[in-house]
Every structure is written in structure tokens, then in C-alpha cells.
Amino acid sequence: MLVAAAAVIPSPTAPQREIAAAMDRSAAGWNAGALDRFVAIYADDAVYVGRDGLTSRKAAIAARYAKSFNVGGNERGRLSFQTLGWRHISATHELMYARWMLSRSDGSGEQGMTTLLFERRAQGWRIISDHSS
């Protein structure tokens, strides 16, 4: 008989809890239709890799998302993240593996995976590399 074992994710470290809180604030910005709050977690020199290719710099990443934002919400749905795991790189770098989920009021939605590399900067933890699919 084959028995499936559930993966055990260790308790997050203090830096990982700080990052998770920043991710919650970013999602809250998305859900409020506040693009500036959503992208506040990105470093100015961040790189985003997605289905359409590579986008460099926070301003270009924001422009990529701008078309789906409106006052009071985001046309693509309500955003949330499920942390799947972490990889501690150094005192200034953490890697987060997560599932992103968009849910709409009609019950539909979509989801995908993301790998986020964070760097501790003077302003706090910032995404320097985002690979989402």
C-alpha cells in the first residue's frame, strides 16, 4: 500500500514573517485597486518573468498591471497567496515559493505559481526577482 506523506513546512523565521506581512499588504493594495500599494513591495530594479517574457524595473512592472486596475478593486479578481515554502539564502536574501490565487465574485478564478527572491533593503524587504506563471 502506498501512503502519501504531507510536506512539513517549518515555522517561518522572523524575516520570513516580515515578508509574509509585506505580501499581505501588497495583496490588500491589489484588492483595493491601489496599484501603488500593490507594487510597493518591488525594488526599483526588480525583474519580472511571466508568460509574456521579461519585464525590467518596477515602473515597467506597474505599467504591465495598470490596465486591470480601477478605483475600488481589480478587474482580474481578489488576490491571495498561499506560501508553499522558503529557502533562506543569506541574512539579506530569502526565496519564497507560493501559489497566487485570484477569485471573482461570480465564483470563477484562476491560480498559478510564483517564486519570489527578496532582498533586505533600507526600505524593508523588496522583491528583486519575480517568476510567476
Given a contact cutoff of 8 angstroms between Cβ atoms, the answer to whether 31 and 78 are in contact is yes
With CA atoms as reference, report the closest residue to 116 among 47, 66, 58: 47
pLDDT of residue 3: 52
Instruction: Decide if pLDDT at 7 tops 60.
Output: no
Per the CB < 8 A criterion, the answer to whether 19 and 27 are in contact is no
What does the pLDDT read at residue 9?
Answer: 59
Query: What pLDDT digit, counting tens, does each position of 15-71 carry?
Result: 999 999 999 999 999 999 999 999 999 999 999 999 989 999 999 999 999 988 876
Instruction: Round the average pLDDT of the chain to a whole number and report it.
Output: 91
- Cβ distance 9 to 88 under 8 Å? no
CB 47 within 8 A of CB 54: yes
pLDDT above 60 for 2: no
Q: What is the pLDDT of residues 60-105, one digit of tens each?
A: 999 999 988 876 677 789 999 999 999 999 999 999 999 999 999 8
Model pTM greater than 0.85?
Answer: yes
Q: Does domain 14-132 have CATH number 3.10.450.50?
A: yes
Domain boundaries, the chain: 14-132
Measured in degrees and rounded to the nearest 5, phi and psi for residue 13 equal: -75, 170
